[in-house]
């Protein structure tokens, strides 16, 4: 067996506690066996307070959440730093983790919160400015032996890392390949954020424990070779998914076309596209998708997806063919991928024709129910927002017939990225 790594993955979610002798052995092993990054991480531990266990992240593939085990000691000796890879869902959102910690005063409250990447031993560091109280779950109580467990399935105490802007807009925590947010929100970006466990969320404590976290990339953020994408389209979709959670056997068809404005000339809400090997921006003149499968309004991300083909025809001419640029892709549609926004749907597949042929297409789109306007009602699209019908359809009390599909902020407050191409 090689030298222990600072952060384990793909192991069963078991509790492992390490003694000080284990940590000493880890240091000796790393002298000759660890890579430069790991040796540097161990070197940093000399300026932190000791907690008598390393942290362990285990990802249970069958149950979909990680296990983090942390033992905290109140000794004034330097503590150990550990990097933890946080598991994400299908669109790169962090999943809850299980944390077990010891070394606290029996009966005391124990808090967990997410902090920026600033060294907590530095001058001026404070949990009220370098950590975000809004990321903290309800405190847990240390048992008679000074231990505490934050279960990943406990809605009150489970810790779920945030990705992006912090809840109180203090700083940004980014995954390794996530685009910077500083230009859009003015906050400092950190790709080395930390989690702090302590007996006081607002003051430095002798029992505080830190470990560095690596947040999950979304599939499109992890592209080694990004190849453009399409966003800004507003697409009219027609389909009638089965209401409620009935046993679905009949196939359903989702068909789309670009929505058009009610303004003079009726311009389409075309958005823009970019593609590998094509200079400049492309403007779609049509966006046609036909996906078929058995589904319902109450379908989840674990249910079989429906699948089909997307064809996007541009206004611009391809000089190689003298015809308009065209991108075709086979895709599958997976609903309910965002727990906070039920109208966010994941599309993923392969480009089969046009620029970037052979590349992956992946991204999220919102799907919000709409209703055609009555003659006396005027809106920019000719349709009225009726997104509450989605909730009713999930409950089995309403049916759908028309939806608006697009990117940006959804009617339920989610964020849809649009389609991304890459390898």
- Digit-coded pLDDT (tens) for 276-333: 999 999 999 999 999 999 889 999 999 999 999 999 999 999 999 999 999 999 999 9
Are both 151 and 292 inside the same structural domain? no
pLDDT at 141 over 60: yes
CATH classification at residue 89? 2.60.40.230
Are both 202 and 231 inside the same structural domain? no
Residue the block writes with tokens 């929505």: 259
C-alpha 130/C-alpha 116 separation (Å) is: 6
pLDDT at 51 over 50: no
Domain boundary, last residue among 167, 190, 214: 214
Distances (CA, A) of 16 to 7, 13, 58, 65, 356: 12, 9, 11, 17, 47
Are both 92 and 150 inside the same structural domain? yes
Residue the block writes with tokens 């759908």: 400
User: Do 370 and 402 touch, CB atoms closer than 8 A?
Assistant: yes
Calculate mean pLDDT across residues 356-385: 95
Domain boundary, last residue among 190, 214, 238: 214
**CA dihedral for 312, 314, 320, 322, sign (positive or negative):** positive
Say if 1 falls within a structural domain.
no
Identify the pLDDT of residue 250.
67
User: Do 208 and 49 touch, CB atoms closer than 8 A?
Assistant: yes
pLDDT at 121 over 50: yes
Identify the pLDDT of residue 86.
93
Are both 198 and 245 inside the same structural domain? no
User: Do 242 and 296 touch, CB atoms closer than 8 A?
Assistant: yes
Phi, psi of 127 (to 5 degrees): -65, -20
- Digit-coded pLDDT (tens) for 405-416: 999 999 999 999
C-alpha 91/C-alpha 220 separation (Å) is: 9
Say if 296 falls within a structural domain.
yes
Domain boundary, last residue among 161, 181, 214: 214
pLDDT at 222 over 70: yes
Say if 144 falls within a structural domain.
yes
Identify the pLDDT of residue 397.
93
Are both 98 and 230 inside the same structural domain? no
Structure tokens at 395: 């409950």
More confident call, 298 vs 46: 298
Are both 175 and 261 inside the same structural domain? no
Say if 191 falls within a structural domain.
yes
pLDDT at 164 over 90: yes
Domain count, the chain: 2
Are both 240 and 163 inside the same structural domain? no
Are both 206 and 270 inside the same structural domain? no
- Name which of 182, 204, 112, 203 is nearest 152 in CA terms: 112
Are both 120 and 240 inside the same structural domain? no
Calculate mean pLDDT across residues 383-408: 95
pLDDT at 36 over 70: no
More confident call, 37 vs 414: 414
Say if 14 falls within a structural domain.
no
Are both 405 and 369 inside the same structural domain? yes
Identify the pLDDT of residue 340.
93
Identify the pLDDT of residue 23.
37
Say if 2 falls within a structural domain.
no
More confident call, 271 vs 51: 271
Identify the pLDDT of residue 246.
59
Say if 5 falls within a structural domain.
no
- Name which of 334, 95, 89 is nearest 219 in CA terms: 89
Say if 291 falls within a structural domain.
yes
Identify the pLDDT of residue 7.
33
Range of the domain at 119: 20-214
User: Do 302 and 55 touch, CB atoms closer than 8 A?
Assistant: no
pLDDT at 57 over 90: no
pLDDT at 2 over 60: no
Are both 121 and 243 inside the same structural domain? no
Q: Residue 247: pLDDT band by 50, 70, 90 thresholds? A: low
Residue the block writes with tokens 């089909």: 308
Are both 209 and 306 inside the same structural domain? no
C-alpha 12/C-alpha 4 separation (Å) is: 16
């Amino acid at each position: 067996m090689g030298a222990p790594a600072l952060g384990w993955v793909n192991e069963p979610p078991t509790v492992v506690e390490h003694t000080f002798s284990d940590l000493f052995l880890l240091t000796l092993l790393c002298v000759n066996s660890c890579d430069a990054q790991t040796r540097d991480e161990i070197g940093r531990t000399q300026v932190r307070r000791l907690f008598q266990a390393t942290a362990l992240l285990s990802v249970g593939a069958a149950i979909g959440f990680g296990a983090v085990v942390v033992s905290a000691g109140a000794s004034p000796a330097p503590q150990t730093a550990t990097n933890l890879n946080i598991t994400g869902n299908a669109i790169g959102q962090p999943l809850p983790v299980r944390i077990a910690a010891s070394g606290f005063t029996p009966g005391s409250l124990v808090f967990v919160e997410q902090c920026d990447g600033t060294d907590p031993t530095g001058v001026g560091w404070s949990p009220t400015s370098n950590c975000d109280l809004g990321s903290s779950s309800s405190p847990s109580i240390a048992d008679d032996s000074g231990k505490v467990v934050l279960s990943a399935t406990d809605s009150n105490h489970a810790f779920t890392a945030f990705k992006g802007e912090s809840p109180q807009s203090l700083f940004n925590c980014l995954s390794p390949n996530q685009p910077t947010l500083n230009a859009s929100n003015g906050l400092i970006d950190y790709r080395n954020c930390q989690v702090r466990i302590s007996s006081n969320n607002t003051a430095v404590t002798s029992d505080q424990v830190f470990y560095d976290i690596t947040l999950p990339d979304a599939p499109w953020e992890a592209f080694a070779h990004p190849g453009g994408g399409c966003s800004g389209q507003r697409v009219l979709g027609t389909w009638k998914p089965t209401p409620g959670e009935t046993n679905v056997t009949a196939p359903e068809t989702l068909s789309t076309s670009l929505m058009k404005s009610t303004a003079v000339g009726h311009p389409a809400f075309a958005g823009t596209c970019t593609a590998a090997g094509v200079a400049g921006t492309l403007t779609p003149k049509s966006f046609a998708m036909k996906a078929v499968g058995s589904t319902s309004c109450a379908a989840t991300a674990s249910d079989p997806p429906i699948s089909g083909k997307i064809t996007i025809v541009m206004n611009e001419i391809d000089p190689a063919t003298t015809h308009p640029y065209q991108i075709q892709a086979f895709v599958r549609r997976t609903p309910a991928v965002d727990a906070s926004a039920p109208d966010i749907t994941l599309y993923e597949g392969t480009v089969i024709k046009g620029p970037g042929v052979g590349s992956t297409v992946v991204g999220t789109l919102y799907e919000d129910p709409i209703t055609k306007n009555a003659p006396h009602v005027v809106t920019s699209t000719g349709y009225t927002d009726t997104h509450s019908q989605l909730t009713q359809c999930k409950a089995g009390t309403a049916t759908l017939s028309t939806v608006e599909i697009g990117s940006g902020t959804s009617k339920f407050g989610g964020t849809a990225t649009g389609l991304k191409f890459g390898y």
